[in-house]
Amino acid sequence: MGCLFGYCGKPAPGLLASMARRLSHRCTLGWEQVAKKLREDYVVEIGHGIAPWCQKPQVVQRNNHLLGYAGTLFNTSLPLTVSIPRIGNTAAATNFSVEQLLGGLIQNTEKRLEQLEGAFVMALAVGDTFYLVRDHAGVKAIYWTVHQGRLLFASEIKALFADNRLQRRMRPGALLEYLSFSFVPGARTMFEGIEELQPGTLLTFSQGQAKVRRHFLFEKQEWGMAKQSEWKEETDTTQEHVEAVRSALEMSVRDCCQVSTTPAVFLSGGIDSSAVLAMTCKVLPDVTIPTFSVNFGPEYANENEFISLMVERYRTDHHWLEIRPADFMAQLREIIWYLDDPIGDPVAMPNYLMAKAAAKVTDVVLNGEGGDPCFGGPKNIPMFLTRLYGPAPDEPKQGWLERNYLHSFQRCYQDLKSLVEPSLFKEAGGEEALVALLEPFFNTPTPQAFLNKLMSLNIRLKGANLILVKVDKMTSANGLLALPPLFSRRIIETSMACPPELKLEGAVEKAILKKAVQDLVPEAIIARPKSGMMVPVRFWFQGEMRRYAKKHLSPKNLKRVGLFNPEYVKRLLNYEIEGVHGMRHGLKLWMLITFMLWYEQMVE
């Protein structure tokens, strides 16, 4: 629940209501709107789906100014007319009204929009100029397009097609990107002409033209450049950096606890979610925190041992969820519809089912997302080895780092030429287009350190277009607000200001985060290597989901769509090794089924 949608430009009677209907799963408590006809040929209409965690109005209109936002604001430095109570160093976001917020944004608009912090997307009209902004980390998502001089925007792509003149043209290059990453990275989406506003980015629309400017340039906070920054002076000792990370985490958790004093926590058994739970219990010492975890049955590996350590230490109200294909197969098509832009990560299913369970006890849930991209998690060590050894003798030097980054995802990058229909592969630009997408991140002079380049790449692509979007869509479909304390502006800047060797300490990933919470988290969790949630799709497609996969990936269906090689898909279904690039058949099948279900609903 909780969404933002609307348009500005030529009047379109009934368009806003049609957008709301396409977002009905996020408007179950109803929706609110503001509209203003500024000229005969120019109107602004903003809609907002009412959310359980904040049922106060989040849209307002005053004279020729209109404002609407979805999500939550943590604090503001705007010149509001009332003082805002504080807890510690955190301003209580719920103690100012949307009218006061609008009043603070009318002057010095762009600068003040950049200063807002939280998990939100916002639409603002100040006279004839319209603004669209997304929070610094990208916790909430917003999509937009300009069609026939009219700007359309919405929390989900499907709502944009309420304008029935907007064509559904799939972008060929997006298919290669999806198959390589399991998501579509960057501003462009699966559809031609439709973009996802990126984190820390401001869109300005005036006189029928849209301009996009990225204002959150966290790379400039890099350690070694800090004396040139207004943020803070360089610190000299490891302990000072550890304390800075500890402080940033505590303040981020306090921010989240302003939204709800009874949040739930998704618990995985790893360092990230454990750190979030520990700090939440420190901030709310008198509250019994509801926690949720998943496993896939006793025959598969699980994290229950480590989860139990946290549950017992902090005496949480824990909910153990065992997930089987039967729990979601009948609803899988609907869940893919909620994902909106296809995401081929099978972790989306546990995210959805945990959110469904958590919605019975809370409106707000905290999670551990952000530890890996922000503090040097997995895939960084292989990239360092790649950079150390350089390209193989028979490998082209141009683009070798980019190609190895693509390999590190272990999706369908190696399969593209065999899997994708040849003419589409050529039209999409082939491997060269994928390399070109990544080159700016590796070639940029800022940040300088290689680990920080990877951090920037992972925050801006994987974080903003996969991790946070996936969680946002799956929790919003269940009426929850998901907040990631480890993926805040404060955490990103603090980590970038730490020396790289404190984040990746030899082969120890996220070393500085582990030191920052070593008194709060059991040593067994701090010392264990990264595991990740291993959804057993490999076994499911050989067992409970085999018939389901063969039905949706039948030669008849594949030929109808005309995008894939049915013979290669057949080899994947049969778990053949010869003639198949790499392994991970189950993950590749999951990605293909996700795409097919998405394509049938969103394109066909």
In whole angstroms, how large is the CA radius of gyration of the chain?
23
- pLDDT reported for residue 315: 97
Residue 8: is its pLDDT beyond 50? yes
Note whether 212 and 229 are same-domain residues.
no
Note whether 482 and 581 are same-domain residues.
no
Q: pLDDT tens digits, residue range 399-436?
A: 999 999 999 999 999 999 999 999 999 999 999 999 99
For residue 382, is it within any domain? no
Q: What is the identity of the amino acid at 64? A: N
Read off φ and ψ for residue 299, nearest 5 degrees.
-80, -5
DSSP 3-state of 30 = coil
Residue 55: is its pLDDT beyond 50? yes
| CA pair distance 507, 450, nearest whole angstrom | 15
> Do the Cβ atoms of 45 and 8 come closer than 8 Å?
yes
Tell me the pTM: 0.94
Of 87-91, 266-270, 353-357, the poorest mean pLDDT is in: 87-91
DSSP 8-state secondary structure symbol assigned to residue 283 = H
- pLDDT reported for residue 77: 57
- pLDDT reported for residue 88: 37
In the predicted model, what is the mean pLDDT of residues 504-513? 92
Note whether 81 and 124 are same-domain residues.
yes
Note whether 207 and 303 are same-domain residues.
no
In the predicted model, what is the mean pLDDT of residues 46-53? 93
Residue 62: is its pLDDT beyond 50? yes
Note whether 196 and 226 are same-domain residues.
no
Note whether 277 and 338 are same-domain residues.
yes
On average, the pLDDT of the chain sits at: 92
- pLDDT reported for residue 94: 53
- pLDDT reported for residue 541: 96
How far lies 522's CA from each of 28, 63, 294, 318, 525, in Å? 41, 56, 20, 18, 6
Q: pLDDT tens digits, residue range 64-109?
A: 999 999 999 986 555 544 333 333 333 344 567 899 999 999 999 9
Q: pLDDT tens digits, residue range 205-224?
A: 998 899 999 999 999 999 87
Q: Tell me which residue range forms the domain holding 544.
A: 536-604
Residue 202: is its pLDDT beyond 90? yes
Note whether 192 and 236 are same-domain residues.
no
Note whether 227 and 344 are same-domain residues.
yes
For residue 493, is it within any domain? yes
Of 65-79, 295-309, 490-504, the poorest mean pLDDT is in: 65-79
| CA pair distance 478, 524, nearest whole angstrom | 33
Note whether 276 and 200 are same-domain residues.
no
For residue 531, is it within any domain? no
Helix (H) or strand (E) holding 588: helix 585-602
531 compared with 276, residue with greater pLDDT: 276
Residue 229: is its pLDDT beyond 50? no
Helix (H) or strand (E) holding 173: helix 172-181
- pLDDT reported for residue 376: 84
How far lies 325's CA from each of 109, 328, 587, in Å? 49, 6, 15
How far lies 301's CA from each of 527, 532, 539, in Å? 19, 11, 12
> Do the Cβ atoms of 157 and 189 come closer than 8 Å?
yes
For residue 432, is it within any domain? no
DSSP 8-state secondary structure symbol assigned to residue 460 = I
Percent of the chain with pLDDT over 90: 82
For residue 509, is it within any domain? yes
Note whether 116 and 196 are same-domain residues.
yes
95 compared with 113, residue with greater pLDDT: 113
For residue 486, is it within any domain? yes
CATH number of the domain residue 339 falls in:
3.40.50.620
Note whether 277 and 211 are same-domain residues.
no
Among residues 181, 197, 216, the one where a domain terminates is 216
- pLDDT reported for residue 81: 40
Domain count, the chain: 3
- pLDDT reported for residue 532: 66
Among residues 160, 195, 216, the one where a domain terminates is 216
> Do the Cβ atoms of 450 and 193 come closer than 8 Å?
no
- pLDDT reported for residue 367: 97
533 compared with 394, residue with greater pLDDT: 394
In the predicted model, what is the mean pLDDT of residues 109-135? 95
DSSP 3-state of 491 = helix
Of 299-313, 349-363, 518-532, the poorest mean pLDDT is in: 518-532
Note whether 273 and 313 are same-domain residues.
yes
Q: Which residues make beta-bridge pairs with 483?
A: 366
Among residues 216, 248, 272, the one where a domain terminates is 216
Distance of CA 582 to the CA centre of its chain: 28
- pLDDT reported for residue 83: 38
> Do the Cβ atoms of 44 and 35 come closer than 8 Å?
yes
For residue 138, is it within any domain? yes
- pLDDT reported for residue 231: 43
For residue 48, is it within any domain? yes
CATH number of the domain residue 84 falls in:
3.60.20.10
